[in-house]
Amino acid sequence: MNVRTVLGSEGERAAAAFLEARGYRIRERNYRTRLGELDLVAEEGDTLVFVEVKVRRNDRFGGPAAAITAAKQARIARLAQQYVVSRRLGGRPCRFDVVLIWGADPGTRRIELLPGAFEAPANRSTA
């Protein structure tokens, strides 16, 4: 594994633990299809939550939030729709959260949760 892959995997583990400590239940990690990957699929109460995790060592290139582009949001929404259909979860409320992580060191990293960080494009539905 390269350094970037290791950083991302560790970030996803940290994000899952962070979310579980806040009452989320992790349903799946790294849901993969030919269209791409959902980092985490969780539940908060009755809401199905699709979580994108972004890790950066520093803000040199705009920090982790800068990587959540409109194209990335649209791809995540398409994957979420596919997930809902494949798992027969239609009709459940859905939300897109983002977990931002700064730093690689578990002792000094900063984690921030952005609930409802974005919405599915109007022509796409996740329910």
Instruction: Render the burial of 49-64: b for 16+ CB within 10 Å, e for the rest.
Output: bbbbbbbbeeeeeeeb
CA distance 38 to 50: 7
Q: What is the pLDDT of residue 66?
A: 65
Q: How does pLDDT run across 82-120, given as a tens digit for each residue?
A: 999 999 998 999 999 999 998 877 788 899 999 999 988
CA distance 79 to 50: 9
Q: Higher pLDDT residue, 57 or 36?
A: 36
Q: What is the pLDDT of residue 125?
A: 45
Q: Quick one: pLDDT band at residue 126, thresholds 50, 70, 90? A: very low
Q: What is the pLDDT of residue 89?
A: 94
Q: How does pLDDT run across 40-82, given as a tens digit for each residue?
A: 999 999 999 999 999 877 666 566 676 778 899 999 999 999 9
CA distance 110 to 101: 6
Longest Cα separation, the chain:
42
Q: What is the pLDDT of residue 67?
A: 72
pTM higher than the cut 0.85 = yes
Write the class of the CATH domain 3-118.
alpha beta
Q: Sheet containing 25-33: which strands, arranged edge to edge?
A: 25-33, 36-44, 47-56, 94-102, 110-118
- Check whether 124 has a pLDDT greater than 80: no
Q: What is the pLDDT of residue 46?
A: 95
